Structure 1
Amino acid sequence: MSEVVMMRLKAGFRKPDLVILAIVGVLLLLWAVDSPQALESAAFTLENLWWISPFLLASVVIAGYAQASGADSLIAGVFKGRVVSMIFLAAFFGGLSPFCSCGVIPLIAALLAMGVPLAPVMAFWLSSPVIDPAMFVLTAGTLGTGFAVAKTLAAIGAGLLGGFFVHAVAQGGFLRDQVKQGAGCNTGCGSPLARAGRPNWAFWQEKERRGRFATSALDNTLFLGKWLTLAFLLESLMLVYLPGDLISQVLGGSGVQPVVLATLVGVPAYLNGYAALPLVAGLIGQGMQPGAGLAFLVAGGITSIPAAMAVFALVRVRLFLLYLVLALTASLASGLIYNLVV
């Protein structure tokens, strides 16, 4: 197993990695123009990596165990022929799961590695980052129970929209082979995996399976680790250089336009979900439409730039663009519908 790990590490050092070069380049440039902020951004990145490490470790172990034991074929088989029901389950479970927009990425990588179809994965991907139990309580306390319920329904609705749309589009082969090579697996991602023989749950008893586990664990750790590092680094810069006052000025007003602007601004303008609540509450108190606030929170939760970068690392451009379109559509629809209901 150690030989496999060493071979993977040597292969990684033989060619430059653009993601790692980008991380180093951003830090060096930031050090040259604002050295105190460079230190703060580095600390922020390390703190968030430490926070997300349990999720990352869990996904790496789960994906590695599934591949090494041969359980991935069984897991994929559970989803075969039941895509519609799994879309519903994924959307509802995603709305209740305790994952943020970046925290969900390791789990998504593990699901893709097991050969779970894209439709339920997309449903979970879109619904999970918007709301969780703790966020529901804080949203209810800050913006009211009705707003918290609307946000939960918007999360589930986004998952259902994305899941069923991807399922329909995939029938024509438009989304075939849209998971990048090495994004959580080595072969067969996005389609049921087929391995000969029965799974060996005690995979560590076989040398070949131990090597497969080591290869999967190392590949996933390096792949997800570098992308999440870059994502958190950029997040730290957004929190500093994207002032809340600017967002307040853009999102003010009435009519349909604020909802559209809130949706568009929410995509790139990352705000921590908890930190965004008082900002949105203040804007609504100043006369902004509640629907615009909801659209901003939904769009920001699903497709902030750090989260979108992590998605881009896992899938090809076609599916990535579809992911953005679905997120924008779901966010805009949730805001407009909430304004009509309220």
Structure 2
Amino acid sequence: MTEALLRIGHRGTGLFREVWRGGGVWLVTALILALLAVLAPAQARLSLGFVIGSLIGTAPYLVLSIAVAAYATASGADNLIARVFAGSPLVMIAVAAAFGGLSPFCSCGVIPLIAALLTMGVPLSGVMAFWLASPVIDPSMFVLTSGLLGFEFALAKTLAAVGLGLFGGYATHALMRIGFLGEPLRPGVGNGGCGASAIRTPSAVAWAFWSEPERRARFARAAGSATLFLVKWLSLAFLLESLMLAYVPQEWIALALGGSGLVPIVTATLVGVPAYLNGYAALPLVSGLIEQGMAPGAGLAFLVAGGVTSLPAAIAVFALVRRPVFALYIVLALAGSLASGFLYQAWL
């Protein structure tokens, strides 16, 4: 990543990253437990047991998701991105949306890649399809979602991700056809970015990576990093879930987010934007909310909207593209999230 792209991609997110860098998440978890130990010792013991038990219960899914993510990194499967954005715009949008639902990129991690694609002249419609679909689901997220919320919910989330990408891509294509959205990037945003080299000079994917020592080392580093990342975030998430189950009255959840119709789904969509911390951390929280009466459609809308428009990602997007593109990104994300939640609830 070039120095210029680093300044753009991380502008506005520096403070957030500094707070959570290193042991920030562990520190917050420890502080909450310490506060509970002083104010409510019994609940502290219950919450700690809840966290440990939940981690043990999700361990098989954690192992599988970590293995999938590390395999994608070690094999170099990101080189397949270069082949996604070729062909006619209508076909490219469909392929980009489907690929986005399978790619292992989070809402913040995809930003530099998007900058590289747009700088290289890839049409905004295809990039928007990939951009919207990518943060919602990936193979490891699918496995964890299945473990915590069920296979049916994970499948609905995957379909929502691809559907959001298709909706956003074709809507952007239509606007471009009538003369809107000329130059998407802000002035001064250059080439480069994480993953850009794979796009410019794609190489073959080493599916049997274990025969190469360097790739085995890459797998080990990726697996270790993913393990620490997931355990620290899930520990905090399970701790918050235990407190939510203990102190948030079920009637409040049922009143605000339960029931049928558009209102709980609209509420969950709007709440998901500022409240969404991390895709893995959100899963057990949504699981707990659904157990307390939250409508499943509202839970899906929360996860989709939060994944695409979480505050750190939105700030990075704002620093990257011109305001009309940013406004379109927000509108498409929220409209698609509402539609996915409502359709899922109606189907149920």
Classify the TM-score, shorter chain: 0.5 to 0.7
Correspondence for 1:145:
151
* Letter of the 2:269 counterpart: T
Residue among 253, 276, 283 paired with 1:277: 283
Please report how far the alpha carbon of residue 268 of structure 1 lies from its aligned counterpart in structure 2 after TM superposition. 2.1
1:247–1:100 Cα change, 3 Å: farther
Change (3 A) 1:264 1:200: closer
> Which runs of no fewer than 5 residues in structure 1 stay unpaired?
1-7, 12-16, 28-37, 48-54, 63-71, 187-198, 202-235
Matching residue of 2:120: 114
Which residue in the other structure is 1:127 paired with? 133
Distance in 2 (CA, whole Å) between partners of 1:119 and 1:341 is 29
1:163 is aligned to 169
Amino acid at match of 2:302: F
RMSD over equivalenced CA pairs, Å: 3.9
Query: Structure 2 CA distance, aligned partners of 1:340 and 1:172?
Result: 34
| Residue identity matched to 2:22 | A
> Deviation per CA, 1:216-249, whole angstroms, max 9, x where unpaired?
xxxxxxxxxxxxxxxxxxxx9xx99xx7758995
Q: Deviations over 1:161-219 (max 9, x none)?
A: 00000000011211112311222339xxxxxxxxxxxx999xxxxxxxxxxxxxxxxxx
Q: Which residue of 1 aligns with 2:273?
A: 267
Structure 2 residue runs without a partner (length 5+) = 27-72, 193-199, 203-232
For 1:338 and 1:299, locate their aligned partners in 2 and report how far apart those are by CA, in whole Å: 14
1:253, CA displacement in angstroms? 2.6
Q: 1:118 to 1:140 in 2, by over 3 A?
A: same
2:49 is equivalent to residue 43 of structure 1: no
Q: Could you give the per-residue CA deviations for residues 300-327 of structure 1, whole angstroms, max 9, x where no partner exists? A: 1001010111111211111101100000
Counterparts of residues 54-203 of structure 1 (less than 5 Å): 78-79=86-87, 82-185=88-191
2:335 is matched with 329
Corresponding residue SS for 1:115: coil
Which residue is 2:300 aligned to?
294
Q: Distance in 2 between matches of 1:306 and 1:200?
A: 30
Superposition deviation, residue 111 in structure 1: 0.7
% identical equivalent positions: 56
Q: Deviation digits for residues 61-118 of structure 1, max 9, x if unmatched? A: x9xxxxxxxxx9xx99945xx1110000000000000111111112111111211000
- In the alignment of these two chains, the number of paired residues is 246
Once residues 305 and 247 of structure 1 are traced to their aligned partners in structure 2, the CA distance between those partners, rounded to angstroms, is 27
**Partner residue, 2:344:** 338
* Counterpart position of 1:253: 258
Q: What one-letter code is carried by the residue in structure 2 that aligns with 1:137?
A: V
2:101, 2:134 within 8 Å by CA — same for their partners in 1? yes
User: CA separation of 1:174/1:247 partners in 2, compared to 1, >3 Å: closer, same or farther?
Assistant: farther
Q: Is the 8 A contact 2:12 2:315 kept in 1?
A: no
Aligned residues of 2:8 and 2:189 also touching (Cα < 8 A): no
Q: In 1, are the aligned partners of 2:8 and 2:316 still within 8 Å (CA)? A: no
* TM-score (ref. length: structure 2): 0.61
- Say whether the 8 Å CA contact 2:11–2:319 is kept in structure 1: no
CA–CA distance in structure 1, aligned partners of residues 109 and 9 of structure 2: 19
Q: Distance in 1 between matches of 2:318 and 2:24?
A: 19
In the superposition, relative to structure 1, how do residues 320 and 77 fare at CA in structure 2: closer, same or farther (>3 Å)?
closer
Between the aligned partners of 2:114 and 2:85, the Cα distance in structure 1 is: 18
